[in-house]
Amino acid sequence: MKQTIDARALMTADLNEPEFQSARILIYGGRNSGKSGLAERFAHRWGALVQGANAQAQLSALCSTVAEEIALGLETMVATRDEMTVRVESAAESLGISHVLERNPLQLSGGQSQLAVLACSAAMQPAVWVMDEPFTGLDDSARIRVLALLKEYEGSVVWTSVRPSEAELNLATHQVKLASADAVQMTAARVEDSRDRIFELLVEEMRSNEAANLPALHVKQLAVHPQPHDRRRIWGKRDAPQPIFSGLDIELHRGQILAIQGANGAGKSTLLRTLAGLIPSVGGEFLVAGRSLAGADAAQRVGLVCLAAQYPAHHFLASSVAAEISLGPAGQSSQALRSELLGAVGLAGKEEEHPQDLSPVEQHLLALATAIAARPAVLLVDEPTARLDESGVSQVVRLLNAYCAAGGAVVVATHDAEFLARVKHRSLNL
């Protein structure tokens, strides 16, 4: 029988009592509702294993393969190598990542990283397993596998979710619903009020485009690989990399949104990084507003095409939010536009905070606001609604629609069907 309990009841719950044995406890609520903090306090009380929201930050960087990464936590827990091997392979198989066991953990996609970290925890078989947003960035198949794993798990499971699916709600034996802070609700109202103002400022400040009649993005027979062949290599022989996909053609015009979809590891983020000029292609060509990125410096590239990355913490260069959104081409926009964008994503009043001190959600929104402030011809966005509540999704929808209406074009990689249902778009499945 499912029960709804409050935070106090959760913190006083005795997992040894029949009511809570093998419990499946879902903590959910909007942004700034305190989900992560409550989960951490609960885990501390029970000495539980905790899996944080940022999977890539939890990879040890000590192991050369995913198999070694999963085995790392088992080294002092199991008696024999055979038992360790069985646990590693079982965890990987249950989550559908057996095919990446020999890959470098630091070269996985965002979704694959999430599954690898889940496998690390599952292999250790903790009595109480606490997870913060374990479904973030997963495709439908991976979500089904994780749900099946949690359903069959022998211990107690606690997880947080900002927008729980019906399947998550059905799995939970106990639900803790937390209210969002009033300040966040006011921020959502401010986004509604400032939508027209942001559009007006973007129309005034969008970079002049002499090639307005040309496609914003023209891609012909593109082939990409996350680690292209290093032509500077002199000693030894190295085979050219095999592209993860090739023969890709895209034509995107101003005012259009293209949604890139596909399974975890299909190459969505790699495609965005290639289009941003961060990694070279291994075949084909592409033009942004009629121009090639070849020979362009960083500022020129960002003026043409700018990426709001899935994990932007590694990309921040400034020591404050205000300074970050004022770097490079973004700093050439008006103060009014930058202020409106920060307000729209809920960062008004946090201008002097260090970007690394923001929550992962706030970092993601800062990266989006900064990319929009750069006013490129093509805006690239990687999983823009990950870990966002309904208010946050609405913020992103409004911003992207305003950007397109002002003459920009957007390429977005996402697994979020609810988000896509709210924006007019074309789809490309990898």
Least confident of 182-196, 197-211, 256-270, 353-367: 182-196
- Least Cα distance to 51 among 143, 112, 122, 154 occurs for 122
Give the C-alpha separation, 106 to 1, whole Å. Answer: 42
**Measuring CA to CA, which residue among 330, 331, 362 is closest to residue 349?**
362
Q: 157 φ, ψ to 5°?
A: -130, 135
What is d(CA 6, CA 12) in angstroms, rounded to the nearest whole number? 10
Residue 25 sits at φ, ψ, to 5 deg, of -105, 120
User: In CATH, what number does 3-177 get?
Assistant: 3.40.50.300
The CB-side HSE value for 286 (13 A sphere, CA atoms) comes to 31
- The answer to whether residue 57 scores a pLDDT higher than 90 is no
Residue 424 contacts residue 257 (beta carbons within 8 Å): yes
Largest Cα separation within the chain, whole Å, is 71
**C-alpha dist (Å) from residue 115 to 136, 153, 184, 222, 290:** 10, 16, 31, 29, 39
Domain ranges of the chain: 3-177, 188-228+241-429
Predicted local distance difference test score (pLDDT) of residue 313: 87
Q: Where are the alpha helices (DSSP H) in 153-247?
A: 166-171, 182-205
| Partners of 410 in the β-ladder | 257, 379
- In sequence order, which residues have a C-beta less than 8 Å from that of residue 255 and are 6 or more positions away? 404, 405, 407, 408, 409
Check pLDDT > 80 for residue 182.
Answer: no
CA torsion angle 97 100 105 111 (round to 10): -40
Other CB atoms within 10 A of residue 376 CB: 26
DSSP reduced 3-state for 164: coil
CB 109 within 8 A of CB 269: yes
What's the pLDDT score for residue 296? 87
Instruction: Give the long-range contacts of residues 16-20, CB within 8 A, separation 24 or more.
Output: 20/156, 20/174
- Identify the weakest region by mean pLDDT among 68-82, 150-164, 180-194, 363-377: 180-194
Please give the Cα distance from 282 to 280 (Å, whole number): 7
Mean pLDDT of 310-331: 93
423: pLDDT strictly greater than 80: yes
How far apart CA 101 and CA 105 sit, in angstroms, is 9
Residue 189's pLDDT is: 55
**Right CATH for 188-228+241-429 from 3.20.20.140, 3.40.50.300, 1.10.274.10, 3.10.110.10:** 3.40.50.300
Position 303, amino acid: G
Q: How far is CA 342 from CA 81, 198, 326, 351, 396, in A?
A: 52, 11, 12, 8, 12
pLDDT digits (tens, 9 = 90+) for 87-131: 999 999 999 999 999 999 998 998 999 999 999 999 999 999 999
CA separation for the pair 316, 5 (Å, rounded): 40
Count of other CB atoms within 10 angstroms of residue 231: 8
Average pLDDT score, the chain: 89
Task: Report residue 377's pLDDT band, with 50, 70 and 90 as the boundaries.
Answer: very high
pLDDT at 299: 87
Token digits of residue 139: 């495709």
